[in-house]
Chains A and B, each alone.
Chain A
Amino acid sequence: MQDRLHILEDLNMLYIRQMALSLEDTELQRKLDHEIRMREGACKLLAACSQREQALEATKSLLVCNSRILNYMGELQRRKEAQVLKKTGRRPSDSGPPTERSPCRGQICISDLRIPLMWKDTEYFKNKGDLHRWAVFLLLQIGEHIQDTEMILVDRTLTDISFQNNVLFAEAGPDFELRLELYGACVEEEGALAGAPKRLATKLSSSLGRSSGRRVRASLETAGGSGSSPILLPTPAVGGPRYHLLAHTTLTLAAVQDGFRTHDLTLATPEENPAWLPLYGSVCCRLVAQPLCMIQPTASGTLRVQQAGEPRDWVQVHGVLKGTNLFCYRQPEDTDAGDEPLFTIAINKETQVRAGELDQAAGWPFTLSISNRYGEEEVTHALQAESRGALQSWMEALWQLFFDMSQWKQCCDEIMKIETPAPRKPPQVLAKQGSLYHEMAIEPLDDIAAVTDILAQREGARLETPPPWLAVFTDQPALPGPCSPASVAPAPARIHSLPWGRPRTFSLDAVPPDHSPGASRLVAPLPLQRSPRSRGLCSKGPPHTWLQSPV
């Protein structure tokens, strides 16, 4: 059965390749080849890796590759169909309908994704029971571009799933549909059962407790066919952790805002599924869009502008239409130099633009007037273009701008900032947060000379006078009669090597607590394991004291 599936998959790939070749679409073909190679690599890695984390990452890469391949396949189908239609249909190229104005493309960036979780109170606060873990990641798709986020391990101690990535889509239109899908796989020993022989697995699942048995059986059942994930291809041939679609949503232009917004998620897996997570049902993110018209100049050229207050005085400027402004620079070179423009004319949705040809004006008859309303006032700027062609191109640019603004709506009010996504760092292994106590390990167990040497090296020449705690070893203060339990008082004459022999650590930086009265000579930095009575710490060596306390 496995072999048959292998063969089918290979045939699939072959077919896809052939299609790409036949279309002679080099761009798509190149991308497809790349993805197929990545997929093969991921399969090999999955087969070879031993650690669970690696397997999860490899499975994720495999799924993303699969989804991209599927996508390209769909795209190829469409193009093939279009090509066939073109050949058969008779479409005269001249008298076609006038090309409709299409809005400019833009960049879409989604960042700061956060999906809140809803654990049961008892689970979250008491953290009882086994710590189940899940591996989750997001798949984001606009058109034929599919991007994934990093994989995050989730357990009961997290209140939200937070993704640090910025996902950027370069060429999207204002009618984009950003499909967001959350995939999860459960990281448990039970996952291993999926690979176990069926009989053993059923035996195990029936002998487990009721709820865990149910979960295991559910995972086995879904192991045969993959979850009904729309984007992902099933991966029956390759073993490894199974990702299930947990939730999805589609975001459009209406969701774009220069700020955080919460959107509803459609949950996809039932509770019986082993990968089920208690999702609250929403996703918070920052979805911004930068239409190209806002960040790139759409038209530029020489203009003559009427100076305010001087009706007859026309200044020649270099105009640059960028975003919602027409910048008028003194010289064309000023734009590159980054100088301030002479003045700026705002162009927004309410701006009125009129073109005209004034026969009576000498010189430059082609005029352009731009009117803006500021409160009660209406301010009109009159501009003159060099030629009819120039005027037409300016008008065209302005019409396009107006059209873009109507399509991109709120994105054209102000430029929304997009941070360049940082290169994805490999998952960091957090250094174990040791206290100062872990800073120093003393190798020779009870060699005081070695200890003082290390300390001397550390402190430099400052350690001229022996530290006060050293007095404990040299000068034994007598134990006061009924000594208070709070004092850290090791037995005077018993400094012998501790039996278990592991290096002890202690910190010089700890501030010695002031044990009053009388015991102030005994300073805390002594290794705490020494003290048989240290609060809260279990002493592992034989006790040296026999304390007496009054009650």
Chain B
Amino acid sequence: MFLWPGQPFLLSVQQRVEIHKLRQGENLILGFSIGGGIDQDPSQNPFSEDKTDKGIYVTRVSEGGPAEIAGLQIGDKIMQVNGWDMTMVTHDQARKRLTKRSEEVVRLLVTRQSLDTTSMLCLPPILASAHCWVPNSEGQERIPGPA
């Protein structure tokens, strides 16, 4: 595991999020916005690591909405909705799968990039005290990181 300078150590984590839709008048809303799709231009996606990734991403989460309450976060990539795959769908198909009138609860499987603190926690306490390893041509060097 190498760490680049200035680059937080990221890991993709899968999360299961269960959102209970909120009734607003005639509509059932989830309280977030999505972007992406196989018919969209992936290079404009600000949240994706890989700029060719055409998946569905959460672009906005309404404050106090059902999605926020359920723990959905901005930048999450939605992999599945109630068992339906969302990695190879058009934007409109994704929207439709989330807004089915017959479903009051949607269970999402999302992928989140998060800071990997677990590995650091596993290191011996001396090393875990915020040391970063930086690779260079001379091999590994310990650089004392910010405390």
Contact = CB atoms under 8 A, between A and B. Distances in A.
Interface residues of B, number: 21
B35 A548 contact: yes
B109 interface: no
B110 interface: no
B30 A543 contact: no
B91 A485 contact: yes
Interface stretch (B39-47, B112-120, B125-133, B137-145): B39-47
A544 B60 CA distance: 21
A533 interface: yes
Given A549-B34, A551-B98, A543 B39 contact: yes
A547 interface: yes
A546 B95 contact: no
From B30, B32, B91, B98, name the one whose CB has the most chain A CB atoms within 10 angstroms. Answer: B91
Given A485-B91, A551-B30, A546 B36 contact: yes
A546 B99 contact: no
The dominant DSSP class at the A interface is loop
Interface in A512-551: 532-533, 535, 539, 542-551
Contacts of B59: 548
Contacts of B99: 551
A225 interface: no
Contacts of A545: 40-41, 44
A287 B35 CA distance: 69
Contacts of A535: 92
A482 interface: yes
A485 B95 CA distance: 9
Contacts of B37: 547
B33 interface: yes
A194 B58 CA distance: 63
Interface in B15-64: 29-30, 32-37, 39-42, 44-45, 59-60
B32 A551 contact: yes
Contacts of B30: 551
B80 to A, nearest CB: 15
Nearest to B30: A551
A532 B59 CA distance: 20
Contacts of B42: 546
From B32, B34, B98, B99, name the one whose CB has the most chain A CB atoms within 10 angstroms. Answer: B34
Interface of B: 29-30, 32-37, 39-42, 44-45, 59-60, 91-92, 95, 98-99
28 contacts: A482-B60, A485-B95, A532-B40, A532-B41, A533-B39, A533-B91, A533-B92, A535-B92, A539-B39, A544-B41, A545-B44, A546-B35, A546-B36, A546-B44, A546-B45, A547-B35, A547-B37, A548-B33, A548-B35, A548-B60, A549-B91, A550-B29, A550-B32, A550-B33, A551-B29, A551-B32, A551-B34, A551-B95
Given A547-B40, A551-B95, 4 more contacts: A542-B41, A543-B39, A549-B91, A549-B95
